[in-house]
Amino acid sequence: MALLIQTVSSGLLLGGIYALLSIGLSLIFGVVRVINFAQGELVMLGGFFTYILWEQFGLDPYISILAVAPALFLIGVVIQRFLLQPLQDRSANMKIFATFALFIVLQNLALLIWGATPRTVTTAYTSATIVVGNINISVPRLLAFAVALLFIGGLILVMKATSVGRALRAVAEDRSTAELMGVPVTRVFLIAFGTGAALAGVAGSVMAPFTSVFPTVGTLYTLIAFIVVILGGLGSMLGALVGGIVLGVVELLAGTYWDPGLQQVVLFGIFIAVLLIRPRGLFGQAQGTEEIGLR
């Protein structure tokens, strides 16, 4: 029983990280209707910026969010303005190719600039643990989970209670009508992509105390984010949170009780099952949002 409780609690914390990896992608999917193959690379950039701020200035990763998030927001705006906006009215395939090319470019630029060496941040709380009975809870992972809840909650609030949020939701639901209603769609796309990139940067920062960052780490993050977004439902922030947690718990249960070597099989098995059985996901917005513009 103790093993089960430990596995589930560790899975919850892992799921929170997965949710943080994916909310940015979900936002971009939902609003801009673009499959961003470079989302993991944006997390990687956030991780590297965090490492540099820690190494050069001794800045704690959680403090560095104040610099990393705005930096990634700007990078996201630039990507949307100069790469995707010119392709806005082209086919969905063109946009997919563009973000795929971006992933290759960012990864190789990172290799060129920083090399392949993994970088690891060490803080006073990196190996800290809270012990409750037989259950060990990693402090940095708990903090990452708390930050994930904070940002997802904050985003849901913004989406529901602010004019920017209403504009984002309107464009996500029906771009043409939103445009006719006077919503500045181009600016909304810039905000959506920038915010999605900033959230990726935050993920990179909060993971820094317990994972290493290296140029090729982004690939797995992108894959995980895709699975979570499909499971939770495109464009749904709550779906990203629930999807992430479900994925984290199931993955660790499979690894602990079945075979650690099959964890990724389980992840992608869930992915395929959702696509076949309920393609809109757990909290999918509406019929058609699962098509992501691939009409």
Partner 1 sequence: MDRRGFIKLTGLGGLGLFGIMTTSSCSKDSSGTSPSKGPIRIGAFYPMSGSFALMGEESWRGANLAMKRRNETGGIRGRKVEYVRADIPDVSAATSEARRLMTNGQVRIGIGTYSSALSLAASEVFARSGGSYFELNAVTNQITNRGYESVYKFVVDSEQFLDTTFDFLAGWGAKAVGKPLPDLKIRVVHEDSAAGSSIGRFATTVANSRGVKNIAALPYSAQLTDLTSIILRLRADPPDVVIASSYAQDGVLFARQVKENGLKIPLFAGIGGAHGQRSFGKVLGPVADGVFSVANAQALSNPKFAPGLDDFLKLYKAEYNDVPFAAESVDHYVGASALFDIIDAANGNDDPKEIRKAALQLDIPAGGTAAGWGIKFDERGHNTRAFATIGQWDNGELKAVWPREAALVDPKFIIPFTG
Determine the Cα–Cα distance for residues 45 and 110; give it in Å rounded to an integer: 8
Of 8-16, 73-81, 158-166, 285-293, the window that binds partner 1 (rule: CB under 8 A) is 8-16
123 scored as a contact of partner 1 (CB under 8 A): no
Which one of 91, 122, 162, 177 is in contact with partner 1 (CB under 8 A)? 122
Closest CA to 57 of 71, 67, 69: 67
Near partner 1 in 253-272, by CB under 8 A: 254-256, 260-261, 263-264
188 scored as a contact of partner 1 (CB under 8 A): no
Near partner 1 in 14-53, by CB under 8 A: 14, 17
Which one of 118, 153, 154, 184 is in contact with partner 1 (CB under 8 A)? 118
Which one of 60, 63, 126, 288 is in contact with partner 1 (CB under 8 A)? 126
Nearer residue to partner 1 within complex by CB, 193 or 271: 271
Of 128-136, 147-155, 195-203, 274-282, the window that binds partner 1 (rule: CB under 8 A) is 128-136
Determine the Cα–Cα distance for residues 248 and 20; give it in Å rounded to an integer: 12
Of 9-17, 30-38, 143-151, 194-202, the window that binds partner 1 (rule: CB under 8 A) is 9-17
Of 76-84, 188-196, 203-211, 284-292, the window that binds partner 1 (rule: CB under 8 A) is 203-211
* Residue 10 half-sphere exposure toward CB, CA atoms < 13 A: 18
The residues that touch partner 1, with contacts defined as CB under 8 A, are 3, 6-7, 10-11, 14, 17, 111, 115-118, 120, 122, 126-127, 129, 131, 136, 138, 207, 210-212, 214, 216-217, 219-221, 251-252, 254-256, 260-261, 263-264
